[in-house]
């Protein structure tokens, strides 16, 4: 599977960051709806585990910033998390928006033919189990899909667990600064792609990554000039907050 994807990248050039970028509350179905409204065919989201091991969407280790709740996410059951308002902080129009489970998102994305990059985002101390359980849930939810979700993470331990649990699902290594041993990491984890902060990339390094047979995604690209430059360097996909500024394309 991964060798095939190195040669045939099924994801479009533009990917909606955290569902709908800055146009809707992040990591909510409202965000995914914005992505569809702007013609995006792919989105990225963050997935972690509740206290009772349900895969759900949230970026931070706590619920404080993006909900009306407080406290560590890993200490709350999905029943408790589902009671939170994850949209009101973004505006009255989004009040009452729920923290979705990965199952909720899978149903929406598959119904809309939207492709998904799942960032495995473990809470502290839960790297291995998050990688394993998110991969297993993704494999179950996307069984039979023409294009499986792409699993990515900053945490090598989580990616290693995902690889062991569901080796057929494609993986990508996420990094802010590109380490000198990037090729060794990608080879060890049998990744199809490297995902990096676009500020860390040079044209030469982009060429090296592509020459090695890997795909390349950059985040978070919110400027038209940056987007054109990176695509000219051979970057395959750009993750953006500005769905309104960067029109969806192939």
CATH of the domain at 14: 3.20.20.190
Q: How many domains does the chain have?
A: 1
Residue 85 forms part of a structural domain: no
pLDDT in tens, 158-172: 999 999 999 999 999
Residue 36 forms part of a structural domain: yes
pLDDT in tens, 82-138: 999 999 999 999 999 999 999 999 999 999 999 999 999 999 999 999 999 999 999
pLDDT greater than 70 at residue 6: no
Residue 231 banded pLDDT, cuts 50, 70, 90:
very high
Residue 167 forms part of a structural domain: yes
Report which of 63, 60, 81 is spatially closest to residue 71, judged by C-alpha positions.
63
What six digits make up the tokens of 68? 């009306």
pLDDT in tens, 26-42: 999 999 999 999 999 99
pLDDT in tens, 176-210: 999 999 999 999 999 999 999 999 999 999 999 99
Report which of 17, 23, 27 is spatially closest to residue 93, judged by C-alpha positions.
23
Residue 140 forms part of a structural domain: yes
Residue 246 forms part of a structural domain: no
pLDDT in tens, 49-81: 999 999 999 999 999 999 999 999 999 999 999
* Segments forming the whole domain that contains residue 228: 2-61+101-240
Question: Secondary structure of the chain in the HEC alphabet?
Answer: CHHHHHHCCCCCCEEECCCCHHHCCCCCHHHHHHHHHCCCCEEEEEEEECCCCCEEECCCCECCCCCCCCCEHHHCCHHHHCCCCCCHHHCHHHCCCCCCEHHHHHHHHHHHCCEEEEEECCCCCCHHHHHHHHHHHHHHHCCCCCCCCEEEECCHHHHHHHHHHCCCCCEEEEECCCCCCHHHHHHHCCCCEEEEEHHHCCHHHHHHHHHCCCEEEEECCCCHHHHHHHHHCCCCEEEECCCCCCCCCC
Q: Say if residue 60 is exposed, middle or buried (CB neighbours under 10 Å; 0-12, 13-18, 19+).
A: middle
Q: Which residues are catalytic?
A: 17, 59
Residue 223 forms part of a structural domain: yes
Average pLDDT of the chain to the nearest whole number = 96
Residue 88 forms part of a structural domain: no
Residue 249 banded pLDDT, cuts 50, 70, 90:
confident
Residue 132 forms part of a structural domain: yes
């Amino acid at each position: 599977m991964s060798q095939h994807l190195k040669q045939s990248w099924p994801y479009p050039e533009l990917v909606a960051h955290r569902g709908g970028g800055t146009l809707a509350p992040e990591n909510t179905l409202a965000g995914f709806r914005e992505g569809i409204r702007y013609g995006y065919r792919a989105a990225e989201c963050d997935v972690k585990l509740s206290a009772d091991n349900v895969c759900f969407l949230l970026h931070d280790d706590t619920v404080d910033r993006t909900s009306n709740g407080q406290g560590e996410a890993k200490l709350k059951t999905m029943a408790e998390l589902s009671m939170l308002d994850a949209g009101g902080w973004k505006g009255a129009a989004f009040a009452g928006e729920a923290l979705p489970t990965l199952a909720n998102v899978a149903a929406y994305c598959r119904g809309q033919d939207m492709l998904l990059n799942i960032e495995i985002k473990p809470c502290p101390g839960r790297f291995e189990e998050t990688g394993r359980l998110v991969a297993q849930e993704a494999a179950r939810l996307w069984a039979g899909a023409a294009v499986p979700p792409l699993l990515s993470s900053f945490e090598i331990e989580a990616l290693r667990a995902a690889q062991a649990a569901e080796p057929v699902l494609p993986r990508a290594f996420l990094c802010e600064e590109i380490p000198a041993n990037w090729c060794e990491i990608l080879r060890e984890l049998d990744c199809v792609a490297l995902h990096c902060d676009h500020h860390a990339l040079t044209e030469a390094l982009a060429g090296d990554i592509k020459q090695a047979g890997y795909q390349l995604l950059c985040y978070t690209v919110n400027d038209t000039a940056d987007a054109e430059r990176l695509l000219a360097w051979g970057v395959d996909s750009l993750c953006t907050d500005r769905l309104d500024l960067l029109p969806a394309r192939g």
